[in-house]
Amino acid sequence: MDTFIIGLLSLGGTALLFWHLLPRNGRTHPITNTIWEPLAGVAVTAGTSFGVTLMALGITQLFG
């Protein structure tokens, strides 16, 4: 059950990161057009896959 909760928190944190990186008021995030721009997509993808994997592991441990 702990892994499910950690995965849920990780997925929530990734969603907040994605929300923070979205354009606002017609302006893009300052990280765009820098060397770090490609890593933002990698971070969001990695956080999503990490959260989903931990949630699946938690469900498997709970019912398996």
For the chain, the domains span 2-63
Other C-beta atoms lying within 10 Å of the C-beta of residue 25: 4
pLDDT in tens, 1-59: 899 999 999 999 999 999 999 999 999 999 988 999 999 999 999 999 999 999 999 99
Tokens standing for 54?
Answer: 């931990």
pLDDT exceeds 80 at position 64: no
Report the alpha-carbon distance of residue 21 to residue 40 in Å, rounded.
8
Strand partners, 27: 24
